[in-house]
Structure 1
Amino acid sequence: MSVRLAASLTLGLVAVAALGAAATYAWAVRNQSVATLDWIDSRFARPVATLPPVRRSYGDDPQQIVAVYRPAGVANPPLVIFIHGGGWQNGSPADYGFVARAFAQGGYATALVGYRLGDAGRFPAMLEDSAAAVRWLLDHASELGVSTETLLLSGHSAGAYNAVMLALDRQWLGREGVPDDIVKGVAALAGPYDFYPWDSDYSRAAFGGWSDPRQTQPIAFARGDAPPLLLVTGDADETVRPRNSQVLAARQAELGARAEIRVLPGFSHAGTLTHLARPFDRDRREIDAVMTFFDSIALNPASAAVQAAVS
């Protein structure tokens, strides 16, 4: 790379950083280029490198894919399954490598999960696919070099919905023959959990034709014996209002489950994703909360049951 090109690239990255996380993400979504955010992140070195991802299909649809990232130098790392957002209409695991690189800093492998979108992905297809991906990853964990002993779920926006529904409504993983206690915790970022009557064109498109709307709502499946939840939201989120996380956390706590909530001042809907990427992760509030939550489970597998019992 020439000195001039390197200087131009550096100036470009500085300019992007100056836009701020929300503006950058908004631009990326508007231009159907979350991949741009991933590219920016990849230009910045991290202390822990990630091995090249392993990409596989778990079904016949082109969107039924997983991309598995492992931290270099870590044998058999615990696995986080991350499900992307996009209003159940768009998105791809290929664009979210920055999430895997962020989680790798804590020693976690990450499987980025895709699922059918648009008309093909209407409820309950997005949950059927997410559960099928979990089943596939469990079956192939050994060859992928990851541990599912303390399996963790995560996701952003629509993906957070998918992850939380898998944890709360037993039927989806149950249909795939996945043991009820396999999911040890869920870190859900800016997800919708109590949004009926439908609150957006996205939710109407994905759920509007279902005969019993209550069956689509995570809040309806709150239970005291659920896996621990970390619900992260921003007080400036106008896309998925913080109320979604607040009411679910309150209901889970009322039932005796472990449910933590982090309402981050100044974070928009976009911010709860972009602050996982460099250079925006200089604000450590979100990533530190997620890593602390993961570690509380993965470093002490018995903690979930103990903490639920004493809640």
Structure 2
Amino acid sequence: MIPPPQAAPQGGRTVLRRGGPGLSAAELAGQWAEDSRALRAARPGRLDLPYAAAEACRWDLYPAIDPAAPCVVLLHGGGWREGGRQGFGALAQGLLAHGWSAALPGHSLMPEASLTRIVRQGHRALDWLAAQGPLHGITGPVLLCGWNSGAHLAAMLLGHPRVKAGLGLSGLYELESLEERLGLTPLEVEVLSPQRLPVVRKPFALAYGEAEPEAAQRQSRAFHALRQREGCAAPLLPLPGLDEATLLETLRAPDGLLCHAARALIEEA
């Protein structure tokens, strides 16, 4: 195990604010969006890089000084229907402070695009990163980190050869309960639910807040149990007192638990 991380010196980096106690989910999201705009303004050189024809299929890249440093690929949440990479970049600040690269892909949204298409876009994005990342200073091991629907995509994309490990935050891994809401066919539920697919034998940690609804917590526990039965267990991280929004602050903080977990996954993969 690597030692608990300490906040890295910020010398020369843009320092973003961290969420304070008592902020609502909407206030946190607004702060993340504001700080993500500041990050994009401070490091504008490798933004909006297309990996496919659809307008949303763009990368924002924040390469580290060392091209061989680990790279976190942050997959935004929003239930596949909303959200975008532009408001999510601030969540990479903790790992950026430890000398990592960060890469944020966008994807098309439902209902304009099917979930099948969104998953395919994720594979295309990683194909692009494998081929073009070295030209932009990113050659190190990749950790997929997704939140909510982004955690689903992280689990679906874990088998890509460019990926070393994954971290799912408040994830959705069994889609049966969402079939009607998302307009999925029974076949789509079967082939797009990580809970029903063969286990990918790479490290994949699962985190959730114990203040989340019980049904949401069960998603992470069930997926962890599946992987454990197949001999592919990685840490299950229930975070006391946190909900789906506030747990992200422990990824954003350089000394936070999820930032530490991300580093450990790559160190031990």
TM-score normalised by the shorter chain: which range applies?
A: 0.7 to 0.9
Task: Report deviation, 1:107.
Answer: 2.1
Query: Whole-Å Cα distance in 1 between the matches of residues 186 and 54 of structure 2?
Result: 22
Instruction: Flag as ranges the 4+ runs of structure 1 deviating above 6 A.
Output: 41-44
Which residue among 146, 152, 163 is the counterpart of 1:161? 152
Which residue among 76, 95, 115 is the counterpart of 1:103? 95
The answer to whether structure 1 residue 194 and structure 2 residue 174 are counterparts is yes
Query: Whole-Å Cα distance in 1 between the matches of residues 215 and 147 of structure 2?
Result: 11
Task: Report deviation, 1:74.
Answer: 2.9
Task: Pick the structure with more helix per residue.
Answer: 1
The answer to whether structure 1 residue 76 and structure 2 residue 76 are counterparts is no
- Check conservation: 1:69, 1:100, Cα contact below 8 A: no
The answer to whether structure 1 residue 215 and structure 2 residue 187 are counterparts is no
1:258-280 deviations in whole A, cap 9, x for unaligned? 32210000110112223334xxx
Query: Whole-Å Cα distance in 2 between the matches of residues 207 and 257 of structure 1?
Result: 32
Flag the 1:40–1:19 CA change in 2: closer, same or farther, 3 A.
farther
- Check conservation: 2:169, 2:206, Cα contact below 8 A: yes
Structure label with greater radius of gyration: 1
Task: Report deviation, 1:286.
Answer: 2.6
Query: Whole-Å Cα distance in 2 between the matches of residues 122 and 161 of structure 1?
Result: 14
1:76-116 deviations in whole A, cap 9, x for unaligned? 32222111101101111111121222221222111101101
> What is aligned with 1:113?
105
Flag the 1:210–1:126 CA change in 2: closer, same or farther, 3 A.
farther
* Code of the aligned partner of 2:227: Q
Task: Structure 2: state its 5+ residue gaps.
Answer: 1-16
> What is aligned with 1:122?
114
- Check conservation: 1:98, 1:276, Cα contact below 8 A: no
> What is aligned with 1:268?
243
Query: Whole-Å Cα distance in 2 between the matches of residues 92 and 240 of structure 1?
Result: 25
> What is aligned with 1:37?
32
Task: Structure 1: state its 5+ residue gaps.
Answer: 1-12, 29-33, 45-49, 174-180, 298-311
Flag the 1:43–1:124 CA change in 2: closer, same or farther, 3 A.
closer
Q: What is the RMSD computed on CA atoms of the aligned residues?
A: 2.7
> What is aligned with 2:13?
none
> What is aligned with 2:51?
58
Query: Whole-Å Cα distance in 2 between the matches of residues 207 and 43 of structure 1?
Result: 37
Q: 1:165-176, aligned counterparts within 5 Å?
A: 165-167=156-158, 173=160
- Three-state SS of the structure 2 residue aligned to 1:242 is helix
Flag the 1:291–1:165 CA change in 2: closer, same or farther, 3 A.
same
Query: Whole-Å Cα distance in 2 between the matches of residues 78 and 264 of structure 1?
Result: 25
Flag the 1:240–1:112 CA change in 2: closer, same or farther, 3 A.
farther
> What is aligned with 1:256?
231
TM-score by length of 2: 0.82
1:224-251 deviations in whole A, cap 9, x for unaligned? x521111111111128611111111111
* Code of the aligned partner of 2:148: S
Flag the 1:66–1:219 CA change in 2: closer, same or farther, 3 A.
same
- Check conservation: 2:145, 2:167, Cα contact below 8 A: yes
How many matched pairs? Answer: 250
- Check conservation: 2:195, 2:223, Cα contact below 8 A: yes
